[in-house]
Amino acid sequence: MLPEPDVQLCHALASDLRAAGYASAALRDAWGAQADDAVARGLRGPAERALAGRDDALAVLGRLWGLGLTVSRAEADAALPTLGVDGAAALGLVALDADAGRVRPAVLVRPQAFADEEGEVEWWIASDLDEAALGGPLPEDHVLGVGGASQTLARLQLTRRGGTALDLGTGCGIQALRLRRLVDRVVATDISERALRFTRLNALLNDVDGIDTRLGSLFEPVGDETFDRVASNPPFVITPRVEGVPAYEYRDGGMEGDALVATVIREVGAHLAPGGIAQSLGNWEYHDGESGLDRVSGWVGDGLDAWVIEREVLDPLAYAELWVRDGGTVPGTPAYARLVEAWLEDFARRGVTGVGFGYVLVRRPLAGSPTLTRYERVAGGGEAGFGPHLADCLAAHDRAALLDDDDLADSVLRVAPDVTEARHHRPGEGDPSVIELRQGGGFARTIEVDPALAALVGACDGDLPVGTLVDAIAQLMEVDAAHLRADVLPRVRELLVTGFLSFED
Ligand SMILES: C[S@@+](CC[C@H](N)C(=O)[O-])C[C@H]1O[C@@H](n2cnc3c(N)ncnc32)[C@H](O)[C@@H]1O
């Protein structure tokens, strides 16, 4: 059954969901925090138990579309006074078991709270029934709901306005909805007609216009159009191309190894307007003698800026187990062992020694603007505020890159409010042997600094220029001021790009 994104019926559904108070916080209250966390892990028993005996609209809708359980027709009709069960069936969201008077969920419709600089929103996102609701492995055409990776990319998106955006591989449409808050028009593409129907339905349900859905692979549906923003959570999972290994549309682009992510990164530059920025999640392979980050740098087109952040690297076995389990095959079964073996054979045959996971930002620089090339490993952070942080870091990079050292010395800087300092002393010794600066937000970076840089950062309170502060520190430490400037200023640039320091005005 395909979702049928009908305008009137979607509005009726939105009205019923609103009237029922069907929202993230209300559901979490209804079934409790622990049960809510369990639902996110795919365990719905505790939530079901918490709702037992309740027949109010929130509980009925929570059972039906929050957990994917059947409810009685009478309960469902009462919970959907405007849409009715027949309307929900016409939208493709339920199936009717007429003899038994039961209503079966055909999809999940979950509330999704989201906050950005534009404010807070609560969306309802329809997607396919998950493993818990299906009671087994997912079908290959499964359309994913809002998962951990979706939320990571949504939070990572730069909070920068633009005219047009592309969401490549839109799935249920979450990135498109997110982008539409910042741009006037979003093109959302997918190879799955089912996914595009979910995207249209979710846009109607949440009263979001300006999302144009297009069917097709990679950049084919957009021809030579260019965009101010591109976001893609592509099907990046590396999957062996052998008989008997399922190829899920939502996570597997049908190419060998990391070729799909490579293609997205290689081709995205041609679809960026000047100053345009693409952000993508990705997996990349490590081969004997070739680091994954070097591999990614080979994919970025000439003349483009790149900032690539690798969050973690998994060894082949850990990678295989992660994705075999994700597909719904349970450890301890023969199928699990067989699939893990297929992954290990594929990796061994192609000389893959590990797989990196991270974020890729590609920018088409404006004429005359500074260029950016950063490939780094950063393991920390991730809870919130990635997008604004990254936007600030990018702006600081661009500004600092236009300053020579004298200009930088004339700049007034301020230490970010989330930065703390840790000093480690050998027992009994007065001077620290290690000084660290730690970032509380952003990517939660920790860097080791020497006493001069620690003193400078501590003194950056938005008052005196950096050069004046460095000269005073040189005097106190009885070292040559010019030498200290030359030593410290490159590191000040790095502290600006990583968000430890910011320009005062
Ligand atoms: C990991 S899901 C991401 C869904 C959604 N954007 C999100 O962030 O949750 C990847 C999506 O890419 C789609 N896809 C797979 N192969 C594709 C291709 N060659 N071109 C475009 N989209 C593709 C899948 O159907 C799926 O909807």
Centre of ligand 1 from the C-alpha of residue 259, in Å? 15
Residue that terminates a domain, selected from 355, 384, 413: 384
Pocket test for ligand 1, best of 190, 238, 283 (most atoms within 8 A of CB): 190
Based on the domain organization, do 348 and 493 belong to the same domain? Answer: no
Identify the band that residue 382 occupies on the pLDDT scale cut at 50, 70 and 90. Answer: low
Range in 199-203, 287-291, 410-414 the model is least confident about: 287-291
pLDDT higher at 325 or 187? 187
Identify the band that residue 246 occupies on the pLDDT scale cut at 50, 70 and 90. Answer: confident
Other Cβ atoms less than 10 A from the Cβ of 333: the count is 10
Based on the domain organization, do 39 and 166 belong to the same domain? Answer: no
Q: Whose CA is nearest to atom 8 of ligand 1?
A: 150
Based on the domain organization, do 450 and 427 belong to the same domain? Answer: yes
Output the pLDDT for position 385.
66
CA angle, corner 268, sides to 263 and 271, nearest 5?
Answer: 140
Task: Specify the 3-state DSSP secondary structure of 336.
Answer: helix
Range in 333-342, 366-375, 461-470 the model is least confident about: 366-375
Centre of ligand 1 from the C-alpha of residue 169, in Å? 3
pLDDT at 270 over 80: yes
Does residue 235 have its Cβ closer than 6 Å to ligand 1? yes
pLDDT at 115 over 90: no
127 domain residue, yes or no: no
Does residue 189 have its Cβ closer than 6 Å to ligand 1? yes
- Torsion angles phi and psi, residue 445, rounded to 5: -75, 150
Based on the domain organization, do 292 and 187 belong to the same domain? Answer: yes
Output the pLDDT for position 161.
86
Identify the band that residue 372 occupies on the pLDDT scale cut at 50, 70 and 90. Answer: very high
Does residue 174 have its Cβ closer than 6 Å to ligand 1? yes
Based on the domain organization, do 261 and 151 belong to the same domain? Answer: yes
Centre of ligand 1 from the C-alpha of residue 411, in Å? 45
Mean pLDDT of the chain: 94
Pocket test for ligand 1, best of 250, 252, 260 (most atoms within 8 A of CB): 250
pLDDT higher at 368 or 324? 324
What is the tens place of the pLDDT at every residue in 136-168? Answer: 888 889 999 998 899 999 989 998 788 999 999
Does residue 169 have its Cβ closer than 6 Å to ligand 1? yes
134 domain residue, yes or no: no
17 domain residue, yes or no: yes
Does residue 23 have its Cβ closer than 6 Å to ligand 1? no
Does residue 178 have its Cβ closer than 6 Å to ligand 1? no
pLDDT at 381 over 80: no
Range in 96-105, 287-296, 349-358 the model is least confident about: 96-105
Based on the domain organization, do 200 and 269 belong to the same domain? Answer: yes
415, β-bridge pairs: 501
Q: What integer is the mean pLDDT of 250-273?
A: 93
Comparing CA positions, the residue from 290, 181, 195, 184 lying closest to residue 234 is 195
137 domain residue, yes or no: no
Q: What integer is the mean pLDDT of 109-134?
A: 92
Contact 297, 287 (CB under 8 A): no
Q: Whose CA is nearest to atom 6 of ligand 1?
A: 170
Identify the band that residue 332 occupies on the pLDDT scale cut at 50, 70 and 90. Answer: very high
Based on the domain organization, do 100 and 197 belong to the same domain? Answer: no
Does residue 263 have its Cβ closer than 6 Å to ligand 1? no
pLDDT at 336 over 70: yes
Query: Looking at this protein, which amino acid is placed at residue 103?
Result: V
130 domain residue, yes or no: no
Q: What integer is the mean pLDDT of 446-455?
A: 96
119 domain residue, yes or no: no
Range in 90-94, 118-122, 371-375, 486-490 the model is least confident about: 118-122
Does residue 361 have its Cβ closer than 6 Å to ligand 1? no
Based on the domain organization, do 301 and 182 belong to the same domain? Answer: yes
Based on the domain organization, do 353 and 286 belong to the same domain? Answer: yes
**DSSP secondary structure of 184-245:** SEEEEEES-HHHHHHHHHHHHHTT---EEEEESSTTGGGTT--EEEEEE---B-----STT-
Based on the domain organization, do 263 and 301 belong to the same domain? Answer: yes
Name the CA radius of gyration of the chain, rounded.
26
Domain of 448, CATH number, reads 3.90.930
Residue that terminates a domain, selected from 332, 361, 384: 384
Whole-angstrom Cα distance, residue 323 to residue 243?
17
Whole-angstrom Cα distance, residue 218 to residue 201?
22
Does residue 221 have its Cβ closer than 6 Å to ligand 1? no
Output the pLDDT for position 159.
82
Centre of ligand 1 from the C-alpha of residue 251, in Å? 7
Residue that terminates a domain, selected from 349, 384, 419: 384
pLDDT at 316 over 80: yes
Domain of 254, CATH number, reads 3.40.50.150
Does residue 171 have its Cβ closer than 6 Å to ligand 1? yes
Q: Whose CA is nearest to atom 18 of ligand 1?
A: 217
Centre of ligand 1 from the C-alpha of residue 213, in Å? 13
pLDDT at 451 over 70: yes
304 domain residue, yes or no: yes
Centre of ligand 1 from the C-alpha of residue 234, in Å? 5
What is the model's pTM? 0.94
Does residue 250 have its Cβ closer than 6 Å to ligand 1? yes
Contact 211, 176 (CB under 8 A): yes
Does residue 195 have its Cβ closer than 6 Å to ligand 1? yes
Centre of ligand 1 from the C-alpha of residue 448, in Å? 40
CA of 153, closest atom in ligand 1: 8
Based on the domain organization, do 289 and 427 belong to the same domain? Answer: no
Centre of ligand 1 from the C-alpha of residue 130, in Å? 16
Output the pLDDT for position 384.
65
Does residue 150 have its Cβ closer than 6 Å to ligand 1? yes
Q: Whose CA is nearest to atom 26 of ligand 1?
A: 250
Query: Domain tally for the chain?
Result: 3
Note down the domain range covering 21. 7-112
Task: Specify the 3-state DSSP secondary structure of 276.
Answer: strand
Does residue 191 have its Cβ closer than 6 Å to ligand 1? yes
Task: Specify the 3-state DSSP secondary structure of 94.
Answer: strand
Output the pLDDT for position 118.
82
Contacts of residue 325, defined as CB under 8 A and 6 or more positions apart, other chains included, come to 331, 336
Based on the domain organization, do 207 and 331 belong to the same domain? Answer: yes
Output the pLDDT for position 250.
84
Q: What integer is the mean pLDDT of 297-304?
A: 94
Contact 234, 282 (CB under 8 A): yes
126 domain residue, yes or no: no
Whole-angstrom Cα distance, residue 102 to residue 105?
10
Does residue 218 have its Cβ closer than 6 Å to ligand 1? yes
- Distance from first CA to last CA of the chain, Å, rounded? 57
Identify the band that residue 327 occupies on the pLDDT scale cut at 50, 70 and 90. Answer: confident
Does residue 145 have its Cβ closer than 6 Å to ligand 1? no
Q: Whose CA is nearest to atom 9 of ligand 1?
A: 150
Centre of ligand 1 from the C-alpha of residue 214, in Å? 12
pLDDT at 408 over 80: yes
Does residue 437 have its Cβ closer than 6 Å to ligand 1? no
Whole-angstrom Cα distance, residue 294 to residue 387?
25
Identify the band that residue 420 occupies on the pLDDT scale cut at 50, 70 and 90. Answer: very high
Centre of ligand 1 from the C-alpha of residue 339, in Å? 23
pLDDT at 458 over 80: yes
pLDDT higher at 295 or 367? 295
